[in-house]
């Protein structure tokens, strides 16, 4: 393998993206493979781009309210043979990229996800997360907070489905797992490392929000409800 490309979608992420990028550069220091970071900016009006450039990130821009298009825009300029996707408000453990390389070099995995830890936990967050668990169990996939796979396989399955304006990562995982089955490869989960993700949605909407609004969860998981996606993702002040 020659290079790893890490793709990060970002909409006004100045509060978190420095920590995300710093964690990637730390993880890079533990491997012998170069890492390029690509930040796909979406309607940013803050210092996200400025911070990203400090970490020598490649910048692309996509203004549509469509997270699949935002992610794909970053992948389009990626030159690595391995792709890693992570959100701007998440950060990885120092051994993460090392684990990715080991998993893929084993030739047992098509790619996969990781363990995810919230930056804080409460009873409300616990029960809100339970509202999402049935969807994950139905698809039999690990949490979709970060993906790792070869770029050739990303291209083979058509990338992120741009008909999905929400939970595009959930549907991507399903598609990747199915493709792996065709190739007799497993969809894996990295367990020796993890990512930590912010709880900003709970901070903004309340820890019990998903638990109290099961219909919203259902609408978001259709993947195609633009109104629900706008209210929960794209039109939220940061």
User: The domain spanning residue 65 has which CATH number?
Assistant: 3.90.550.10
Question: At residue 8, does pLDDT exceed 70?
Answer: yes
Which domain range does residue 195 map to?
4-120+142-200
Backbone angles phi, psi at 224, to 5 degrees: -120, 5
Number of domains in the chain: 1
78 touches 151 (CB < 8 A)? yes
Q: Is residue 34 part of a domain?
A: yes
Q: Is residue 146 part of a domain?
A: yes
154 touches 78 (CB < 8 A)? no
The pLDDT-based confidence of 19 (bands split at 50, 70, 90) is: very high
Backbone angles phi, psi at 233, to 5 degrees: -120, -65
Question: At residue 142, does pLDDT exceed 70?
Answer: no
**String of DSSP letters for 73-126:** HHHHT---SEEEEE-TTEEE-TTHHHHHHHHHHTT-EEEEEEEEEESS--HHHH
The pLDDT-based confidence of 134 (bands split at 50, 70, 90) is: confident
pLDDT tens-digit map of 52-65: 999 999 999 999 99
Q: Is residue 172 part of a domain?
A: yes
Q: Is residue 174 part of a domain?
A: yes
Q: Is residue 134 part of a domain?
A: no
Tokens of 201: 């949605």
SS3 150: strand
Mean pLDDT of 138-161: 90
């Amino acid at each position: 393998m020659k290079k790893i490309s890490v793709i990060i979608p970002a909409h006004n992420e100045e509060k978190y993206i420095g920590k995300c990028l710093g964690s990637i550069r730390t993880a890079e220091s533990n491997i012998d493979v170069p890492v390029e970071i690509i930040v796909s900016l979406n309607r940013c009006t803050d210092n996200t781009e400025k911070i990203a450039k400090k970490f020598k990130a490649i910048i692309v821009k996509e203004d549509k309210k469509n997270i699949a298009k935002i992610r794909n825009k970053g992948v389009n300029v990626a030159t690595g043979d391995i792709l890693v996707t992570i959100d701007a408000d998440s950060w990885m453990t120092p051994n993460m990229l090392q684990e990715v390389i080991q998993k893929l070099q084993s030739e047992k995995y098509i790619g996969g996800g990781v363990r995810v830890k919230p930056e804080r936990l409460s009873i409300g967050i616990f029960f809100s997360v339970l509202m999402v668990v049935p969807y994950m169990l139905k698809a039999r996939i690990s949490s979709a907070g970060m993906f790792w796979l070869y770029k050739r396989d990303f291209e083979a399955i058509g990338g992120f489905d741009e008909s999905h304006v929400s939970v595009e990562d959930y549907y991507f995982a399903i598609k990747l797992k199915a493709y792996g089955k065709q190739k007799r490869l497993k969809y894996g989960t990295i367990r020796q490392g993890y990512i930590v993700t912010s709880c900003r949605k709970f901070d903004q909407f309340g820890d019990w929000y998903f638990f109290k609004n099961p219909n919203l969860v259902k609408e978001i998981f259709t993947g195609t409800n633009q109104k629900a996606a706008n209210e929960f993702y794209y039109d939220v002040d940061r």
